[in-house]
Amino acid sequence: MDTNAPGSPLASWSWNPETGVIDLTVPAGSGAFGLAGQWTLDSLRHVVDGLSGARLRQSFRPGQRGDTAEVINCALALPDGRRVQLIGGYLAPLEARGIVIVEGEPPRASPRPALEDVPPPPLNPVFQPIFDARTRRLCGFEALARWGAGLAVDPRVLEEAGLASAMLLHAAELRAGLTRTTGDQPEPFVGVNLTALDLARPDLPEFVSALQAAHRLPPGALVIELTEQAALRDRKHAMATLERLAEAGAHIALDDFGAGHSSFAWLLEAPANSLKLDADLTGRAGSPRARSVISGVIAMARELGLSVTAEGLESEALADVLTELGADRLQGFALGRPLSASAALALWQVRS
Ligand code: G
Ligand code: MN
């Protein structure tokens, strides 16, 4: 049974390196309820199996200079043999948080392999292709988080886990592999979804800057995708962070535009380069009213100098309608499913 299946309450952890206490919030019925509560690492070591105290401490040590870019990924084994994984990262030098994933049924009699022999399910980002609407050439990707066994991670979970830095690292790496043989095409890009907590990290713009420099990426190679929801908690600070991200060379895309949280104020204030029309909106482009709304939004985007990506396109017919209405870029299952990094690079070779 997978306790992190959609609908089940999420188990989480938070770690304070100053007090040396890890707080595990584990919902009843999640299969690891016995772990709920506050633990020192030493006490936790006694209730999990097959793990040395040193390794547990190693996983939670603050990085060099309290480096918040570091991902914490600590695999534990319960006495009944199931694996528990604590994944997350430092949000600040004195605060690390993340989620708890409980995996597997208790084994019957078979001896289980040593923990060290079992690779943890890694964060497996996938990359969904985005095409130029007119030429239908591949022009970029959106990076999406997936856990090992193909389990999709809701962006809200990512927010809690603070894993944006890992996604940015993967995105920059993929982008570095997207080279062109001819110089007449626009620079390719890779988009990453960031959340409110990510925006609150003071070192985010420096992190993006360092990635750009390390891979020698041109401006716009990394696109930060944000919903208005992500900026709502502290609007002023979020806008200042967006400005710094733009200075660092990232482009900003207003994500899920036209659904839920996306106001005209958002359009007015955010220093954005593009907007992404939400699937809710594009999916209704069969109706004349929806087409009027879409062409209105696209006209507004034009006035503001924003390019427009139509998202969630599940049919060729919709892709054609959105092209007709003036969308610059197209994304959706009808054009391309999310791909592994190697498949994304292979597609780039034939479609760019
Ligand atoms: O909110 P955001 O735009 O980041 O959402 C991207 C999500 O939408 C991803 O989880 C991706 O797998 C999903 N997605 C992408 N294209 C389609 C599509 O054509 N149809 C549906 N239903 N989901 C899609
Ligand atoms: Mn997105």
Nearest alpha carbon, ligand 1 atom 22: 312
User: Residue 160: pLDDT band by 50, 70, 90 thresholds?
Assistant: very low
What span, in angstroms and rounded, lies between the C-alpha atoms of 176 and 216?
8
Q: Which residues pair with 71 in a beta bridge?
A: 89
Pick the ligand that lies closest to the CA of residue 278. Answer: 1
Is any atom of ligand 1 closer than 6 Å to the C-beta of 193?
yes
Q: Are strands 11-16 and 21-25 parallel, antiparallel or unpaired?
A: antiparallel
What 3-state DSSP class applies to 101? Answer: strand
Q: How far is CA 146 from CA 124, 158, 249, in A?
A: 5, 10, 26
pLDDT at 9: 59
What span, in angstroms and rounded, lies between the C-alpha atoms of 237 and 179?
35
Q: How far is the CA of 336 from the centre of ligand 2 (A)?
A: 15
Q: What is the pTM of this model?
A: 0.68
Query: In the predicted model, is pLDDT for residue 281 greater than 50?
Result: yes
What span, in angstroms and rounded, lies between the C-alpha atoms of 38 and 44?
9
Query: In the predicted model, is pLDDT for residue 284 greater than 90?
Result: yes
Q: Which residues pair with 225 in a beta bridge?
A: 193, 253
Q: Greater confidence, 88 or 327?
A: 327
Nearest alpha carbon, ligand 1 atom 8: 312
Is any atom of ligand 1 closer than 6 Å to the C-beta of 128?
yes
pLDDT, tens digit, 9 for 90 and up, residues 15-31: 888 888 888 888 776 66
| Mean pLDDT along residues 198-214 | 85
| Mean pLDDT along residues 113-140 | 76
DSSP annotation string for 42-78: HHHHHHSBS--HHHHHHHHS--GGG-TTPEEEEEEE-
Q: Which of 142, 311, 313 to mutate to test the pocket of ligand 1 (most atoms within 8 A of CB)?
A: 311
| Mean pLDDT along residues 277-284 | 96
In this structure, the dihedral spanned by the alpha carbons of residues 169, 229, 322 and 334, taken in order and rounded to 10 degrees, is: 50
Is any atom of ligand 1 closer than 6 Å to the C-beta of 179?
no
pLDDT at 245: 95
- Phi-psi group of 162: left, alpha or beta (phi > 0 → left; psi -120 to 50 → alpha; rest → beta): left
303, burial (CB in 10 Å: exposed 0-12, middle 13-18, buried 19+): exposed
User: Residue 334: pLDDT band by 50, 70, 90 thresholds?
Assistant: very high
Instruction: Show Cβ contacts of residue 244 under 8 Å, excluding neighbours closer than 6 positions.
Output: 204, 205
pLDDT at 89: 81
Q: How many residues make up the chain in this entry?
A: 352
What span, in angstroms and rounded, lies between the C-alpha atoms of 264 and 297?
10
pLDDT, tens digit, 9 for 90 and up, residues 47-63: 676 555 566 777 887 65
Residue 296 in tokens: 């209105």
Q: How far is the CA of 61 from the centre of ligand 2 (A)?
A: 32
Find how far residue 263's CA is from the centre of its chain. Answer: 23
What is the CB neighbour count within 10 angstroms for residue 143? 26
Q: How far is the CA of 142 from the centre of ligand 2 (A)?
A: 7
Q: How far is the CA of 149 from the centre of ligand 2 (A)?
A: 22
Of the chain, the percentage scoring pLDDT greater than 90 comes to: 42
Q: Greater confidence, 233 or 249?
A: 249
User: Residue 310: pLDDT band by 50, 70, 90 thresholds?
Assistant: very high
Residue 64 in tokens: 């060099």
Residue 294 in tokens: 């879409």
